[in-house]
Structures are given as C-alpha cells and as structure tokens.
C-alpha cells in the first residue's frame, strides 16, 4: 500500500516538474523587451566611454 502511494506520489511529482519545466521554457522564449535591449546598449556605451577616458 505504502509502495503504491509512493509510486503515485512520484508520478504526481514528475507530472508537476515536467509541467514546470515546460512553462519556464515557454517564458524563457518570450520576446525580450526593447527597454532591456536599450538598457544594455547604454551600459555598454558607458563602459566604452570609461575605457576610452582611462
């Protein structure tokens, strides 16, 4: 009985983890907002400027 319950719990945990990975993977593929891309460009430009001044 306990073994049956353990097996069932394993299946439930597996189902949850597989779905979590799938959902997280979908979110990772969401388009990166322009604001973040722009921010990175600004930060890189600032770094280049600092390097040039040194």
Q: Which residues bind to other proteins, rule: CB under 8 A?
A: 8, 11-13, 15-30, 32-33, 35-36, 39-40, 43-44, 47
Please name which of 4, 25, 41 lies closest in space to residue 12, comparing C-alpha atoms.
4
Residue whose token pair is 């799938």: 22
What is the closest distance, in whole angstroms, from the C-beta atom of residue 28 to other proteins in the complex?
4
What is the closest distance, in whole angstroms, from the C-beta atom of residue 1 to other proteins in the complex?
14
Helix (H) or strand (E) holding 37: helix 34-53
What is the closest distance, in whole angstroms, from the C-beta atom of residue 52 to other proteins in the complex?
17
């Amino acid at each position: 009985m306990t073994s049956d319950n353990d097996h069932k719990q394993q299946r439930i945990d597996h189902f949850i983890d597989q779905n979590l990975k799938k959902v997280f993977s979908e979110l990772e593929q969401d388009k990166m907002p322009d604001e973040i891309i722009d921010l990175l460009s600004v930060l890189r430009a600032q770094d280049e400027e600092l390097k040039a001044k040194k």
